[in-house]
Amino acid sequence: MMAFTLELDDDQVTVRDWLHGFAAEVIRPAAAEWDEREETPWPVIQEAARLGIYSLDFYAQQYADPSGLGIPIAMEELFWGDAGIGLSLVGTTLAAVSVLANGTDEQIGTWVPQMFGTPDDVKVAAFCSSEPDAGSDVSAMRTRAVYDEAKDEWVIDGTKTWATNGGIAGVHVVVATVDPALGARGQASLVIPPNTPGLSQGQKFRKHGIRASHTAEVVLDGVRVPGHCLLGGREKLEERLARARERAAAESRGDAGQRGRNAAMATFEASRPAVGAQAVGIARAAYEVALDYARTRVQFGRPIIDNQGIAFTLADMRTRIDAARLLVWRASWMAANNRPFTAAEGSMSKLYAGETAKWVTAQAMQILGGNGFTREYPVERMHRDAAIYTIFEGTSEIQRLVIARTLSGLPIR
């Protein structure tokens, strides 16, 4: 196990500074344009691919960092540049991580490289889980996958929503119910290859923020994929379903406790610090704009930072940002070193970082006054982008529920 430290090594500093330069020189100059266009910033993605940032190798190296800090460092710098473009650059990793976590070696080697494409022909991938009636309540999922044994194919029907890169992706990874009687335990993930008949883009969402990131519905109408597209394979699925049926039977007798649900919660917990790191990047960017503005904006003969009301707000902004980063780094280190989240530390990091991003960007707008409300300054865009961080990847209310259940050991509703 690697010891927890706040000192970055030389490699981490090099990566951080490299990404910061890319964010400052490539992402930021393009941010306002792609926010207004509400389109995927393909030229930025291609430039990132050319430099090696948008690639399987880059993200794999960051995930492999034994300190756990590779991913949060990368996320903070990219989202310091811009959240919408940042999501366009990292959205593919949602699908890639799903395959890496659940797929066989053959599936990983086949599908993950296709998700990124090449610098000359970049691709994106989509992870499709949420549904119109199944967001936080994953047990309400209606998308079905039925196995056609005669043809060794899975037939998938349903509608997914809030899918990053949904419809424009080459490879889609879809979570579907294979045994409705088991609820969330009866679900599996399947890869849908490029150009598969029956998959289409539904509504593209026009969003309040993160507008450079494509978000849409994905409609699955009789989609057929080969049996080998089931992540992990059918044998592994049948073994897992058999265990789930045994657990469900035991719970119905009242002798199984909460072990199954806690194990699932721990899996979700491990992914939340990366989202928290994105929020830290947005908050830091807004704070820096506000600090610079307060130093140079003169009212009544002196810079406005000379007023305690402004100076104290900036002090609180910086304090909350640093506290959020520490929570993210702690949870990231714990996940990388297989330390159990006994106090829902993953949810703590995402909750506090998301709330911090909303609060800090709001204060930045206030410090800039009327200028903060215009698109001449970036803080209004940052404030719009920050709003999603108390909503997606588990709302703040869901994070508090997870934390409260973990601390109390009770099924709080």
The encoded tokens of residue 50 equal: 């050319």
What Rg value do the Cα atoms of the chain yield, rounded? 22
Q: Which of 62, 69, 57 is nearest to 2 (CA)?
A: 69
Determine contact, residues 173/167, Cβ cutoff 8 Å: no
Residues 73 and 75: their CA atoms lie apart, in Å, by: 6
First to last CA, the chain: 36
Q: Which of 381, 383, 386 is nearest to 353 (CA)?
A: 386
Residues 61 and 73: their CA atoms lie apart, in Å, by: 12
Residues 246 and 260: their CA atoms lie apart, in Å, by: 11
Side-chain half-sphere CA neighbours of 22 within 13 A: 26
Determine contact, residues 346/277, Cβ cutoff 8 Å: no
Determine contact, residues 358/386, Cβ cutoff 8 Å: yes
Of all helices (H) and strands (E), which one includes residue 84? helix 83-102
Alpha helices in 159-258 (DSSP H): 234-252
Contacts of 193 (CB under 8 A, 6+ apart): 171, 225, 229
Residues 368 and 168: their CA atoms lie apart, in Å, by: 38
Determine contact, residues 110/100, Cβ cutoff 8 Å: no
Determine contact, residues 208/146, Cβ cutoff 8 Å: no
Determine contact, residues 296/303, Cβ cutoff 8 Å: yes
Q: Which of 268, 299, 282 is nearest to 393 (CA)?
A: 268
CA distances (Å), origin 321, targets 51, 286, 346, 358, 400? 29, 11, 17, 11, 19
| Active site members | 393
Partners of 156 in the β-ladder: 145, 223
